[in-house]
Structure 1
Amino acid sequence: MPKIVDRAARQEEILDAAAKVFARKGFAASRIEDVAAEAGIAKGSVYLYFESRNALLTGVFDSYAAKAAQVLTELGAGSPLERLSRLIRATLELLAAHPDHARVLLDVWASNPPIDMAGMYREYRGAIADLLTEAAADGALRPGIGAPHAAVIVGAIEGCLVQALVDPALSLRDLTEPVLQLCVEGIRT
Structure 2
Amino acid sequence: MPRKVDRVARQGDILDAAVRVFARKGFAATRIEDVAAEAGIAKGSVYLYFDSRDALLTGAFELYARRTEHVLHDLGDGTGLQRLERLVRGTVDMLAAQPDYARVLLDVWASKPPLDLAALYHEYRAAIGKLLTQAAADGELRAGIDERHAAVIVGAIEGCLVQTLVDPEVSLRDLATPLVRLCVEGIRK
Which letter does structure 2 place at the counterpart of 1:43?
Answer: K
Cα deviation, residue 113, structure 1 = 4.2
The residue aligned with 1:132 is 132
Q: 1:40 to 1:6 in 2, by over 3 A?
A: same
The residue aligned with 2:162 is 162
Q: Give the gaps of 5 or more residues in structure 2.
A: none
Cα deviation, residue 111, structure 1 = 3.6
SS of 2:46's partner is helix
The residue aligned with 1:5 is 5
Cα deviation, residue 112, structure 1 = 2.9
Structure 2 CA distance, aligned partners of 1:101 and 1:116?
16
Cα deviation, residue 9, structure 1 = 1.1
Cα deviation, residue 110, structure 1 = 2.8
Cα deviation, residue 120, structure 1 = 0.3
Instruction: Indicate yes or no: 2:68 matched with 1:65.
Output: no
Cα deviation, residue 8, structure 1 = 1.2
Cα deviation, residue 4, structure 1 = 2.1
Instruction: Tell me the matched-pair count.
Output: 189
CA contact 1:54–1:114 (8 Å) conserved in 2 = no
CA contact 1:58–1:114 (8 Å) conserved in 2 = no
Q: What is the percentage of aligned positions where both structures have the same residue?
A: 70
Q: Following superposition of structure 1 onto structure 2, how do residues 11-22 of structure 1 map, counting pairs within 5 Å?
A: 11-22=11-22
The residue aligned with 1:106 is 106
RMSD (CA atoms): 1.0
Instruction: Indicate yes or no: 2:86 matched with 1:86.
Output: yes
TM-score by length of 1: 0.96
Cα deviation, residue 52, structure 1 = 1.1
Q: In terms of mean alpha carbon deviation, does 25-34 or 79-88 score higher?
A: 25-34
TM-score by length of 2: 0.96
CA contact 2:142–2:188 (8 Å) conserved in 1 = yes
CA contact 2:57–2:108 (8 Å) conserved in 1 = no
Q: In terms of mean alpha carbon deviation, does 21-30 or 137-146 score higher?
A: 21-30
Cα deviation, residue 51, structure 1 = 1.0
Structure 1 CA distance, aligned partners of 2:111 and 2:48?
27
Which digits, 9 at most, give the CA deviation of each residue in 1:48-78, with x for residues without a partner?
1111111111100011110101111111110
Which digits, 9 at most, give the CA deviation of each residue in 1:101-147, with x for residues without a partner?
11111123134344211110110011001111111111100001110
Q: In terms of mean alpha carbon deviation, does 177-186 or 18-27 score higher?
A: 18-27
Which digits, 9 at most, give the CA deviation of each residue in 1:17-44, with x for residues without a partner?
1111111111122111111011111000
Q: Give the gaps of 5 or more residues in structure 1.
A: none
SS of 1:41's partner is coil
Structure 1 CA distance, aligned partners of 2:8 and 2:108?
25
Which letter does structure 2 place at the counterpart of 1:44?
Answer: G
